[in-house]
Amino acid sequence: MVTCLHGFSQHGGSWAELAALAGDGRRWLTPDLSATTLEEALGEVLELWDREGVSRSHLVGYSQGGRVALYFACTRPEQLLTLTAIGAHAGLEGPARAARLQEDLELADRIQREGVDWFTGYWAARPLFQGLSRRGPAFLERLDADRRRNDAGSLAAGLRGLGAGATPPFWERLNAISVPTLLLAGAEDERYVAYARRLGRAIPRSRVEIVAGAGHAVHLEQPEATARLLVHHLSRR
């Protein structure tokens, strides 16, 4: 069993391409998360596993979903087979966290004022996601349509409670992660390369892989390379 947790403003369907490329007979769970805190997200995953009869699973998370996956692994390591975090960190700290919280709160208010259509254009234009353009216009159109499925109130609530600024940092808890851990970052995403390496120093059984020709959304920008790395990692358990 492989459980995948999507990034902010995405949905479970964003994992479909990677799941197809990495298909090796395992079952994949790719839920649409609606939680607005780390604890709520943990509860959503546990409820899903209970419904599906899952006792242990490989866990994969991207960006916000990667932060949730890291937190889950700190809290319930005995329920994981392996962990993979893509473009993730364990919470911002100090002035950086305060600045990001203010930014996220302002963005949440603006989303509620101006709506999902405004947000979709704003989010797609952020430098963090410019590498997605290498996939071509048809791919970008699918991403755009997926983002437009969101509700403004839900997006705003997610930023206020589960955004990078709202999430309390938990770097000191990472040594509780006892399963094999793969940490992925795109070579063009320097900030998250640094986070991946910091995570690698903190998590005992981890390895860091920096993917060439990719920015923040490694699994979407370089799905074949990501699938190869993931299949090798999953085979460890």
Q: What 3-state DSSP class applies to 231? A: helix
Q: Do the strands 28-29 and 2-5 form a parallel or antiparallel pair, or are they unpaired?
A: parallel
The packing angle between helices 64-75 and 38-52, to 10°, is: 70
- Domain end among 161, 176, 192: 161
Instruction: Render 178-202 in DSSP notation, one character per residue.
Output: -S-EEEEEETT-HHHHHHHHHHHHH
The H-or-E segment that residue 23 falls in is none
pLDDT in tens, 53-103: 999 999 999 999 999 999 999 999 999 999 999 999 999 999 999 999 999
| 83 and 100 fall within a common domain | no
Q: Look up the pTM and report it.
A: 0.96
Residues 171-195: pLDDT tens digits?
Answer: 999 999 999 999 999 999 999 999 9
Q: How many other CB atoms sit within 10 Å of the CB of residue 56? A: 14
Q: How many domains does the chain have?
A: 2
Q: Is the distance from CB of 6 to CB of 65 less than 8 angstroms?
A: yes
Domain that holds residue 53: 2-92+168-234
pLDDT of residue 25: 83
